Amino acid sequence: MRFVGPALAAAVLASAAVAANPVRATLVTSSAAPVVDQPWRWTVTVKSSARRPVPAKMRLQILLGPTVVGCWKGTAMTQCSGVDAGTWIRFRGRRTGVLTWPALSLGVRLTFQAVVVAEKRTLRLRAPVTVQPKP
């Protein structure tokens, strides 16, 4: 099952501004309900209006409401805070990764966020997440 609600919303918002800036970005996750200690996949895609991959950088963050509570630092997600928290990840066109959600996040309504910067534009792509127990 692929969860594309936020990705679709992000694509619509990004493409609405094509006249001002030709960058389109999407976030696709494997589920809105990942399972504790199980792999959960995410993909961020950034393209020009001509559908060509463009260079970009992003920060990955976990939000509790509007507050950053986790971010990507180096090679893993860690606890952190602040809107500028996290290591920049550079890529061209598409980046995919896998996260494993800890038991600490079980049942909490969180938001997975990718703050993407491409061609002098910043886009915030978000996907709601509620971590489920193992079956």
Helix (H) or strand (E) holding 14: helix 5-16
User: What average pLDDT does the segment 14-28 reach?
Assistant: 69
112: CATH: 2.60.40.1930
The answer as to whether 125 is a domain residue is yes
**Strand ranges in 30-130 using DSSP code E only, listed in sequence order:** 39-48, 55-64, 67-73, 76-79, 89-92, 94-100, 109-118, 121-130
The answer as to whether 135 is a domain residue is no
Q: Between the CA of residue 134 and those of 27, 38, 76, what are the distances in Å?
A: 25, 8, 22
Number of structural domains (the chain) is 1
pLDDT digits (tens, 9 = 90+) for 101-134: 999 999 999 999 999 999 999 999 999 999 999 9
The answer as to whether 108 is a domain residue is yes
Phi, then psi, of 133 in degrees rounded to 5: -75, 165
Query: Do the beta carbons of residue 35 and residue 135 sit within 8 Å?
Result: yes
Q: Where in the sequence is the domain holding 105, given as residue range(s)?
A: 5-130
pLDDT digits (tens, 9 = 90+) for 40-97: 999 999 999 889 999 999 999 999 999 999 999 988 899 999 999 999 999 999 999 9
pLDDT value at position 22?
83
The answer as to whether 79 is a domain residue is yes
pLDDT value at position 135?
85
The answer as to whether 13 is a domain residue is yes
